[in-house]
A and B are shown apart, each in its own frame.
Chain A
Amino acid sequence: MLFSSIMFIFYFLPITLGVYYLIPKSHLMARNAWLLVASLVFYSWGEPVYLFLMIFSAAFNYYMAGEIDREKTEGGSGKKNLVFALVINLMILGFFKYFGFLMDTINAVTGLSIGYTALPLPVGISFYTFQALSYIFDVYRDKVKVQKNPMMVALYLALFPQLIAGPIVNYKDIEEQLTERSFSFDSFGSGAIRFCIGMGKKVILANNLGALNAYVAAIAPDELTVLTAWIGIICYTLQIYFDFSGYSDMAIGLGRMFGFRFKENFNYPYTAVSITDFWRRWHISLSSWFRDYVYIPLGGNRVPVRRHIMNLLIVWSLTGLWHGASWNFVLWGVYFGVILIIEKYLIGGYIEKMPSWAQHLYTMLIVTISWVFFSITDIGEAVRYLGIMFGIGSSGFMDSSTLYLLRTGLVLIAMGVLGSTKRPVKEHERISRGFRWHETVWALLVLLISVSYLVYGSYNPFLYFRF
């Protein structure tokens, strides 16, 4: 089930909210139980087969956290149980996500043709597996108390607002909220508004930008001009931002409607002044996870330079691999790893001294190029596309397709560029000072337009669903 679907907006969400708030607030456990049931229904709507996997993950991680805690209480380190839990969680993720990649790589390297069945990826598996691991690690490190109620662990993993595409919620950030949440009309209202704005970002902006990108993607490479290629990748750059940040807004807004406060996942990444700054603003929950559970345990930056560089390359290769079981994603991750190393040790000082327009231009050039390898899974084709962007192998600078794209898409692209900055928010705050209901009216308008698109339009999954 998608957030941006008629079924969710007009059936699932009202029923879930209605029953939730009919339960008296003194019965939080009953509310949690209902939320868990609703979350499992949400998940199984599209994939009933993998509901077993979700329930297994909850049961297994609940049990293993208890085992780690028991072992530490009896004077042990808990390490064996930690490793066992880690192996099983990664085995599940590896089996569904990386088995095909592994087989393809073995076949390519050895020249064999070992047959296998490529299984579809259970939706959200990368997200809830990482959440489960964060719980296990935090229990091991004594950062959180072990949860004695299995329903709470299941709710933490399966909570539908952030189940399918994040943000990745660390257990320590939600531990208290599972047993104590406050409600206010203000909070509910701000959550609803956030949900509407997120849906607008996805349905109005991302989907339409995606259509422009799809138009460019359908053009044969030997008919692609320089400007058309740039328009295509700029549309993708904006599409992926509005698609993913829109979903995160919806998830955070939904969470707030149920009294949960999730951390922000995006902080205007396209206003970043360096790649280092970009990764503090893009998919914050993922980069934080890798920092806390991989980078810092490896030693972080408190190690000799060579080891630090190795740590960064490991973390960024894994970050790329998390995004997809394909070499282009690994390349994408390593690309950023190398640039971050260069910024850290070579050019960071120079970047800081650059005027801000140059910093933004540098950052957006690097980021836009990265999306070529993210969007085109065949590395050869990605390199070819990149070449065309810079005039190599292109069929000229511009043609009728370019004019068509500019005529039909320039306003949308301009809206996208503006929408990715803080400017609209500042304008909104200025208008709200004179007109209190501005935010509500604006959200309702966005909701109306989005629903119109959903009723009229076709299937519109989230790009990050594939992770």
Chain B
Amino acid sequence: MTSTDIGKSIDRNTIIKAGFVLALIIFLVIVYKSGSAKDIDLAVISDRLENEMGIEKEMKKASDRDVMEFFGLDSGSFEQVVYYRNTRELAVEELLIVKAASKDALGPVSEAADRRTKTQIDVYKSYGPKQVKQLENCIKIEKGNYYFYCTSDNAADYEEVFRDAI
């Protein structure tokens, strides 16, 4: 190899390495900015919860009106909302998933979920130790532009479905 060949080779190799670094940086920036939560229709999660997890044995799908009544949230303010709750007397099981347009819009959802659990605990603390325990062990997750809240003995299983989906 002549010195010119070596020079050309060095330049080409440097360019290739720079190319790798650039491709990696672009990918990492894209992934970071997107928050890396997949853009997924909540109907897919709902479907999995119902068909794979049998959530309807425990909770029934609730309406936007219920979301307003129990959380004080206007479903129209978000891209999608899915809400299940156990309608039996003295039952506290419920699951709320909210998909917002952006992460910043989840603040009110988080506050609403905190208020909800606090209110429920206040209601049950003098006569419902099992309910209080369930409420204290509730799962609240904020990921990308999604919010997940669940009070249930099966909350961890539902959480897995949610995390797997997004």
Q: A residues within 8 Å of B by Cβ?
A: 46, 49, 52-53, 56, 59-60, 63, 67, 74, 84, 88, 91-92, 95, 117, 119-120, 214, 218, 220, 458-459, 461
Contact = CB atoms under 8 A, between A and B. Distances in A.
B53 interface: yes
Given A46-B164, A119-B31, A458-B53, A92 B24 contact: yes
Interface string B26-50: 0110011001111000000000000
A2 to B, nearest CB: 10
A67 B156 CA distance: 48
A119 B36 contact: yes
B148 to A, nearest CB: 14
A56 B157 CA distance: 33
A67 B10 CA distance: 10
Contacts of B32: 117, 119
A456 B59 CA distance: 19
Interface residues of B, number: 31
Query: For chain A, what secondary structure do more than half of its interface residues adopt (helix, strand, loop), or is it mixed?
Result: helix
A459 B24 contact: no
A91 B10 CA distance: 24
B16 interface: yes
A47 B94 CA distance: 29
Given A119-B36, A120-B36, A461-B160, A56 B16 contact: no
Query: For chain B, what secondary structure do more than half of its interface residues adopt (helix, strand, loop), or is it mixed?
Result: helix
B133 A88 contact: no
A117 B143 CA distance: 9
Contacts of A220: 133, 136
A49 B157 CA distance: 24
B17 interface: yes
Contacts of B35: 117, 119
A228 B19 CA distance: 57
23 contacts: A46-B164, A52-B27, A53-B27, A56-B24, A63-B20, A67-B13, A74-B6, A88-B21, A91-B24, A92-B24, A117-B32, A117-B103, A119-B36, A120-B36, A214-B156, A218-B137, A220-B133, A458-B52, A458-B157, A459-B157, A459-B161, A459-B164, A461-B160
